[in-house]
């Protein structure tokens, strides 16, 4: 597709369940970022991939959060044993990988933990 595609758009889960969020990047984009956006706040960095390599995961809030990009294209963000504080919009962004190239954002997945 022409843009970054994220699925599902909305996800409701009960506390303690595991969830998986998917990001389909723009074709050919080698760099992929995940951000978490709490209600009324700006996005906060979670993790970064260059192709299949996860080069920075300093923003992941706990070991319940795990991201992968096994073939250097589609990425999945997994949250295990979800907590209410995990409720947020999760954004994926991709770039061609060159310095100063703008990040293209998907519409996000709104996660609600009951």
Partner 1 sequence: GNSVTQMEGPVTLSEEAFLTINCTYTATGYPSLFWYVQYPGEGLQLLLKATKADDKGSNKGFEATYRKETTSFHLEKGSVQVSDSAVYFCALGRSQGAQKLVFGQGTRLTINP
Binding positions for partner 1, rule: CB under 8 A: 4, 31, 33, 35, 40-45, 48, 50, 55-56, 59, 91, 93, 95, 99-108
Shortest distance, position 66 Cβ to partner 1, whole Å: 18
> What is the per-residue DSSP string for 35-100?
EEE-TTS--EEEEEEETTEEEE-TT--STTEEEE-TTSS-EEEEE-S--GGG-EEEEEEEE-SSTT
Comparing CB distances to partner 1, the nearer of 93 and 113 is: 93
Q: What is the phi/psi pair of residue 16, to 5°? A: 100, -15
Shortest distance, position 15 Cβ to partner 1, whole Å: 27
Shortest distance, position 91 Cβ to partner 1, whole Å: 7
Comparing CB distances to partner 1, the nearer of 86 and 90 is: 90
Burial class of residue 92, CB neighbours in 10 A (0-12, 13-18, 19+)? buried
Comparing CB distances to partner 1, the nearer of 19 and 49 is: 49
């Amino acid at each position: 597709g022409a843009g970054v595609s994220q699925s599902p758009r909305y996800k409701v889960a009960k506390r303690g369940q595991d969830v998986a969020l998917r990001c389909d990047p723009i074709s050919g984009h080698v760099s992929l970022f995940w951000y978490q956006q709490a209600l009324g706040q700006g996005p906060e960095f979670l993790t970064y991939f260059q192709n299949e390599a996860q080069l920075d995961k300093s923003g992941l809030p706990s070991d319940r959060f795990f991201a992968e990009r096994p073939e250097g294209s589609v990425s999945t963000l997994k949250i295990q044993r979800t907590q209410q504080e995990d409720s947020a919009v999760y954004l994926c962004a991709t770039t061609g990988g060159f310095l100063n190239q703008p990040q293209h954002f998907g519409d996000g997945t709104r996660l609600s933990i009951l």
